[in-house]
């Protein structure tokens, strides 16, 4: 009889223990899951409001960061609650550093940024060109555009001839 009562009590105790373990596991997992925060936002051009695809977002002093997607959005997840210094950069734009960005546990910190184009003033560039006059095509162009009848030999034509002194070359 005693064995029968203990057996019945064990069948009721095991499910209770299982439910209690499950309950405490869920409570601790939820509390641990919310111990990290994140930073996200959008990076755009300040003058035109165009999104800056691929803009770099870096947490200064760490290896953490992100790049803006096709819509200009970025997200840096799984950050410990702390105060961070964030650097935004993009090719041909002035970099911006935002200090004192606070990340709270289980919360999302939104940080939208506008970057200014970096203008670099260069000195003037002068391009000059000179037509080659020693090729066969150049000689033909000179003859075609000339008002007078002109004979000419190109270096190519002289080079093709086997004459040693050039007296055998005629047009």
pTM: 0.54
Per-residue pLDDT of the chain (171 residues), as tens digits, is 444 455 555 556 666 776 677 666 666 655 555 589 999 999 999 999 999 999 999 999 999 999 999 999 999 999 999 999 999 999 999 999 999 999 998 899 999 999 999 877 778 888 888 766 667 777 777 766 666 655 555 555 556 666 655 555 554
Q: How far does CA 64 lie from the centroid of its chain?
A: 15
* Residue 140 contacts residue 123 (beta carbons within 8 Å): no
Give the CATH number of domain 37-115.
2.60.40.1120
Q: Where in the chain is the domain with CATH 2.60.40.1120?
A: 37-115
Residue 1: the pLDDT is 47
**Chain centroid to CA 109: how far?**
22
- Which DSSP string corresponds to 54-100? T-EEEETTSS-EEE--TTSEEEEEEEPSEEEEEEEE-TTB--EEEEE
């Amino acid at each position: 009889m005693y064995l029968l009562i203990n057996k019945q009590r064990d069948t009721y105790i095991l499910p209770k223990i299982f439910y209690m373990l499950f309950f405490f596991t869920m409570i601790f997992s939820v509390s641990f899951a919310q111990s990290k925060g994140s930073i996200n936002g959008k990076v755009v051009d300040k003058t035109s409001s165009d999104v800056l695809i691929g803009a770099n977002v870096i947490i200064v002093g760490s290896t953490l960061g992100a790049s803006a997607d096709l819509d200009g959005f970025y997200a840096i997840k799984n950050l410990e609650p702390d105060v961070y210094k964030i650097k935004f950069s993009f090719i041909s734009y002035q970099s911006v550093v935002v200090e004192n960005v606070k990340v709270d546990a289980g919360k999302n910190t939104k940080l939208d940024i506008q970057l200014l184009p970096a203008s670099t003033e260069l000195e003037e560039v002068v391009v000059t060109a000179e037509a080659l006059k020693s090729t066969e095509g150049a000689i033909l162009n000179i003859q075609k555009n000339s008002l007078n009848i002109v004979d000419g030999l190109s270096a190519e034509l002289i080079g093709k001839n086997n004459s040693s002194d050039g007296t055998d070359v005629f047009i």
